Amino acid sequence: MPPVTVAGPFGNMSPQVAKMMEQLSKGYYGFLPSEVWTPNVNLYETETDYRVCVDLAGVEKEKIDITLVDQRLVVRGQRAVPQCPSPPRSEPEQGRMKVHLMEVDHGAFSREVELPHNVIKESITARYTDGLLWIELPKK
């Protein structure tokens, strides 16, 4: 897909800059999440199980909910707006910070994955490491 450019007072802009300008034109409320976002998922299969990897960087483990609904694995939760770390104590505080671009999804999220019929539902396990949620689904 060719890159999208926007003609305007500044000539052609990259898609990222165009998105930023669109957000800025909406004002402060354009930065608030209006929908549930969908995290990216990788699916793997071994001889003994299926493995689901969900990209949840920056999400607190306690904010993740995993449920089974019929033959669907449902992962839901909440991610706060990323906060810049405070400067070292040796550097003076810089005051208020303006937001120029906000592409890191935040707020409520939800992702569903259809499960194969040969999964032992009672033996599903999950672990959260380095911002990745790994769910293991043993085969019958």
Condensed to tens digits (0 to 9), the pLDDT of residues 22-81 reads 656 555 444 454 579 999 999 999 999 999 999 999 999 999 999 999 899 999 999 999
How far apart are alpha carbons 103 and 87 in whole angstroms?
A: 23
Judge contact between 115 and 70, C-beta under 8 A: no
How far apart are alpha carbons 133 and 66 in whole angstroms?
A: 10
Maximum alpha-carbon separation in the chain:
62
Q: Specify the pLDDT at position 84.
A: 81
| pLDDT tier at 90, thresholds 50, 70, 90 | low
pLDDT digits (tens, 9 = 90+) for 105-135: 999 999 999 999 999 999 999 999 999 999 9
Show the CA angle centred on residue 81, arms to residues 77 and 87, nearest 5°: 135
Side-by-side strand order, sheet with 132-138: 41-45, 49-55, 132-138, 125-129
